Amino acid sequence: MEARFATERAGTVPLAWGQRAIWGAIRDVGPGSDHYYNVPRIVRLPRGWRISPDAAVAAIGRLLARHDALRSRLCQEGQADPLQTVESRGAVAVEVAEAPPDGAGAAAETLRERLAGRRFSYSEDLPLRAGLVTGGGVVSHVVLVLCHLAADAFAADVVVRDLRLLLRGGAPPAPYQLMDLVAAQGGRAARGSTAALGYWAGHYRAIPHTMFPEARGAPGSPRFQQAVIVSRAIDLATRTLARRHGVSTATVLLTAVAALVPAVSGHRTVAVTPLVNNRFAPESRTLVTSLCQLGLFVLDIEATGAATFDELLARTRHLALQAYRYARYDQAEWYRMVDAVSGERGLPVFPGCCFNDQRAADPLGRDAPADPRQVVAARAETRIRRPPGVERLNCGFCVHLVDDEDGVPGVALTADTVTMPPGLVDRFLHAVEALVVGAATAGTPLSALPALIDGAP
């Protein structure tokens, strides 16, 4: 089946700043591993909707017409800063898998893995793949895989929401589009970019040039391996701390990771680059594109004078806000800044220590448990799972917050086996759990941080 679209909006424009950022990462990992960045979603349809395959395909076509980014292709795939063309007419193939009701969920997972497991051809493919799981002439699941050039995780959730609305008969107009964003970034937004680049340059002249310079072993196979700690205790503890300090759970975990990195990196000053979704303006909240760019969170625990993790959160909240504030900038100018500062220092400056909240929503401090014993008891359920790794990645230490199985959030760490062997990755994740649980229930002295990693299971 084919989902066809037709619209009057078309044009050839530069990449937006966030698109330019993810394009750099895609080029760094190369064609053998760039499918790592694909953004999959499974949309389960209520049984009462009784959507036919034809109706679902027509809705996907309207979805494509609705968003500029879903109809874009690169004009010059081999270049560092290519243009993109937004098509006015075209079609996307829709794969259909038949499955009985008790096997529909598994069929959707299989379809997702197949569609997400291969790379996009950025100059030939439209940046959306789609599939349907059907039974008895009715669609039970729609599977979407988006190219990261077209959508970050937030945008993928906007796409899912719009598809649900379109399946039910309509959706409100999408007033702000990719081509509008590109035009805006060539105007007033450039002034904010200058301030952000000044913030980055100041820190890049002072921080260690990389967080993990020491090789600890031979490369594994694949070289970059991942572990995910699935922990209800982390969820309960971070919500407790978020409510206590008036911050997001992402800020709690960003600070926890930064506090633990010195124990494995050997550096007193830590630089972590959180991926910031840049969805602060109202018009950006329905915009489908990749808006995410790196922020810079710099932490020197000794300089804060904090004795406990609670004190550290209270005293470094402004540092997290700075990281989020200065994460919107002209990406091409950022690359030039990095080259200039690296030239001054005689070393390539890149922390290689990133943090990415990929959850559909931050739970903030909602429903934080009142009884600390609940938080401690939840550790008995904690487990580690191991998704497939990749041979190449542009960062050697990547923490991701994910929505994991059965509604329990997970914290994932993908690391270069040369600097972070798999056993150390596991201990680091268990130490994150021990740190936030201890802080939420009894107080964790910062002097105990190295022991948390050394003593982790």
47 and 167 assigned to the same domain: yes
**CA 367 and chain centroid, separation:** 25
- Residue 44: which CATH number? 3.30.559.10
Q: Which two tokens stand for residue 195?
A: 């301030």
Q: How many Cβ atoms are within 10 Å of 452's Cβ, its own excluded?
A: 21
Last residue of a domain, one of 183, 201, 224: 183
149 and 209 assigned to the same domain: no
Tens digits of residue pLDDT in 148-163 = 999 998 999 999 999 9
Q: Which of 156, 102, 110, 150 is nearest to 131 (CA)?
A: 110
Tens digits of residue pLDDT in 112-167 = 999 999 999 999 999 999 999 999 999 999 999 999 999 998 999 999 999 999 99
Last residue of a domain, one of 183, 200, 218: 183
**Cα(258)–Cα(260) distance, rounded to whole angstroms?**
5
208 and 176 assigned to the same domain: no
220 and 73 assigned to the same domain: no
171 and 274 assigned to the same domain: no
Last residue of a domain, one of 157, 183, 209: 183
Alpha helices in 246-308 (DSSP H): 249-260, 262-265, 301-304
209 and 270 assigned to the same domain: yes
287 and 258 assigned to the same domain: yes
> Residue 39 is part of which domain span?
2-183
Claim: this prediction has a pTM higher than 0.85: yes
127 and 50 assigned to the same domain: yes
Give the pLDDT band (50/70/90) at residue 78: low
Give the pLDDT band (50/70/90) at residue 257: very high
- Residue 349: which CATH number? 3.30.559.30
pLDDT at 301 over 90: yes
Tens digits of residue pLDDT in 233-249 = 999 999 999 999 999 99
111 and 228 assigned to the same domain: no
Contact, 227 vs 422, CB < 8 A?
yes
**Exposed e or buried b per residue across 259-277, where buried means at least 16 C-beta atoms within 10 angstroms of its C-beta:** bbbbbbbebebbbbbbbbb
Contact, 284 vs 278, CB < 8 A?
yes
200 and 107 assigned to the same domain: no
87 and 225 assigned to the same domain: no
pLDDT for the residue 365: 56
179 and 195 assigned to the same domain: no
CA dist list (Å): 36 to 39, 117, 234, 267, 393: 9, 8, 26, 29, 9
Domain count for the chain, please give it: 2
